[in-house]
A and B are shown apart, each in its own frame.
Chain A
Amino acid sequence: MTDILNALVLFSNFVLIPSLAYGSQLALGALGVTLIYSILRFANFAHADMMAFGTMVTVLGTWWLQSLGISLGPLPTALLALPFAILAAIGMSLLIDRSVYRFYRTKRSSPAIFVIASTGVMFLLNGIVRFIIGPNDQRFADGERFIIRAREFKTLTGLDEGLAIKVSQVLTVGIAVMLVIALFMFLQKTRMGKAMRAYSDNEDLALLSGINPERVVMITWIITAILATIAGTLYGLDKSFKPFTYFQLLLPFFAAAIVGGIGNPVGAIVGGFVIAFSEVMITYAYKKFFMYLLPQSMAPEGMMQLLSTDYKFAVSFIILVIVLLVKPTGLMKGKVV
């Protein structure tokens, strides 16, 4: 019996919990990408850098609050700074929309032009963030780091394997769930949410039925800015804030959104978890796991690793290719332009 428990704890500690947290981070990012894609109809390459921008404001706000001696006790101070960062990110998003994207929208430019414009915005934000906070790694997490440490868990339960749960992991999963529920309520129940879905389904028909397109666009940018800032802050609390790493997140975001079915919010969430779990599960070495479960005589010789961790990134892209071959619209039915 303890062997089975040990195996389960081992699996949770190294596979389940890290992938759950990473999956939530990817899901929030992919949601932002997918919303812009379904409503504004282009792949927004600047999304990861908007995340970096929002997080940067959170970091600066956290430092300011810390210098004033304000803290949230066991919770990270960053949560207090988050609302201000969201406002800053919304302001930046709307400013960019007014100055860049609206020009192309009134011209009814093709999605390809929007994508290129968003690449330009990506470099701009990249530069702004580096200019203000610099390219270095910044830590801004404070408060309690762990809910339970691996060593404490061992002494508490008497098991051989430890289980570590971090505050940031619980916050990430918890806030992600709340955010997703709130987003779906908004899209399904409110007038504006319905207007957005209508606009996404058929722009011209929506215009005919009296929906104000500029308002839909504005609300979309506001929602994505909120998602980006929260996702970025949660990621930074769990790992750390470094502009270059945030820029690199763009690729898994798009992979998640496309696997799940781009333009479909449920798909973005499913995709995020598929990518995160496949990266960890396929490259995990199951030797110890099976040693607990199987009788001694059947103990495995090798590491029981399906693929070396060197192929971690290949895994998510192989899944991407397979999904696109077998089901081009993604796991959930997404949009194909």
Chain B
Amino acid sequence: MRKILLAATILATMTGQALAAETIKIGVILGFTGPIESLTPDMASSAELAMKEVSDSGALLGGKKLESIRADSTCVDSAAATAAAERLITADGVAAIMGADCSGVTGAIASNVAVGNGVVMVSPSATSPGLSQLKDKDLFFRTAPSDARQGQVIAAILKSRGVSEIAVTYTNNDYGKGLSDSFQSAFTAQGGKISMVAAHEDGKADYSAEVGALAASGAKILAVFGYIDQGGKGMIQASLDSGAFDKFVLADGMFGDALTDAFGNDLNGTIATVPGAESQGAKTFSDMAEKAGITVGGPFTGESYDAAALIALAMQAAGSSDRAAIQSKMMAVANAPGEKINPGELAKGLKILSSGGEIDYVGATNVEFNKIGEVFGSYKEMEIKNGKYELISVR
């Protein structure tokens, strides 16, 4: 009896391995429940779009397929996210992880699970500057730029527009505080004056106290680093209602049509920055996404596609789906030199790599890693004119 069991177990393990030889599993860990549950389905579909493209090409490591294993990061619960990542790595045996999404859980997964197991993690949306200091043994990459960069971009935009004094309000969390700090240091370094900084809490009943204090500082423009469906909107509404401010500077969390739909022409002259580029790659990606039924223009969809594509390309460059092998080639496929690869051209990239050539993956978001594996990032400068967002420039 024992022998039969043993034989059966061995057989089962062997078939498992045989199957694994055909497909390579990639973990997709995003907050499918929690505060950003409305964004994550499109992000996951975008990543899976890249995986499907790679699988369909038949060129990956001699015709292997990629399989997506989804897991829930919850966005806010580090313990749950860590457990989910643990499961992906140990039970499902994923080759690499595309994720996570929110900065807090991403840091937790990276330091608790990914680094210890030597698994590459590519986050499409964690933007906290704090993640740059992570002791990640070069395993953590991100295709979304750090907010430290966004703060500098906003300061540069204001300089070019001749704004010398501004009041700042930020949502009281890692994202708001990090962005506000980087903006303040960049803005004061170029000689600007921050007349007042006041944090706001999300989901509160009334924001007239914050707006009153900010208005009293004498600044004419208010920078709002918050969320469009949370306190950030409350701050803007209270400012417009009392006539305290009618020009705002907004960061990515505040970008969206909900604001222009609600206030329209009252916001004319407001400036916003949002990650992204008007490149050929971005256009190709949005066409592809539309065909696949993904909401075009949703945040971090291009970044998600790029994250998954980079993992597949690194695998091909290394000639193996081994975890360490993937890590060794991440930088090489993302950066120059080599043939430029746009979305939809993954098959071409895979073929070049298999014939020993080099590629420089551009993707939907102009991917270019710096030496710690973070994209430099490009931002669109938008301005509200006649109640609608208009693109001014890309920085």
Q: Are B241 and A303 in contact (CB under 8 A)?
A: no
Inter-chain CA distance A148–B217, complex, in Å, is: 24
Give the total number of A-B pairs whose CB atoms are below 8 A apart. Answer: 100
Asked if B208 contacts A240 (CB within 8 A), the reply is no
Q: Which of chain B's residues has its CB closest to A153's CB?
A: B243
| Cβ of A321 to closest chain B Cβ, rounded Å | 20
| CA–CA, A137 and B1, complex, Å | 63
Q: How far, in whole Å, are A287 and B203 apart by their CA atoms in the complex?
A: 29
Interface size class of B (residues with CB under 8 A): 20 to 34
Q: Is the CB of B237 within 8 A of A18?
A: no
**B390: CB under 8 A from chain A?**
no
Kindly state whether residue A164 has any CB partner on chain B within 8 Å. yes
Cross-chain contact B203 with A14 (CB below 8 angstroms): no
Q: A63 interface residue, CB < 8 Å from B?
A: no
B233: which A residues are within 8 A, CB to CB?
137, 240
Q: How many residues on the A side are at the interface (Cβ–Cβ under 8 A)?
A: 44
Q: Is A15 an interface residue, CB under 8 A from the partner?
A: yes
Is residue B7 contacting chain A, with contact meaning CB distance below 8 A?
A: no
Is B229 in contact with chain A by the CB < 8 A criterion? Answer: yes
Q: Chain A interface mostly helix, strand, loop or mixed?
A: helix
The answer to whether B216 and A303 have CB atoms under 8 Å apart is yes
Partner of A162, one of B211, B213, B243: B243
Alpha-carbon distance A286/B234, docked complex (angstroms): 22
B-contact 0/1 string along A275-292, CB 8 Å cutoff = 010011001111111000
The 8 A CB mask of B194-208 against A (1 = contact, 0 = none) is 001011110111101
Q: Are A13 and B237 in contact (CB under 8 A)?
A: no
Across-interface contacts of B199 in A (CB, < 8 A): 309-310
List B224-276 residues whose CB lies under 8 Å from chain A: 229, 233-234, 237-238, 241-244, 258, 262
Contact of A279 among B206, B217, B241 (CB under 8 A): B206
**Contacting pair A248 B216 (CB below 8 A):** no
Whether B18 sits at the interface, judged by CB under 8 Å, is no
Verify if B116 is at the interface (C-beta below 8 Å from A).
no
The CA of A14 and the CA of B214, in the complex, are separated in Å by 10
8 residue pairs, one from A and one from B, having the closest CB atoms: A150-B243, A18-B208, A285-B216, A14-B212, A162-B243, A285-B213, A280-B209, A164-B243
Which residues does A use to contact B, with CB under 8 Å?
A: 13-15, 17-19, 22, 25, 136-137, 139, 149-151, 162-164, 166, 235, 239-240, 242, 244-245, 248-249, 252, 276, 279-280, 283-289, 303, 305, 308-310, 312-313
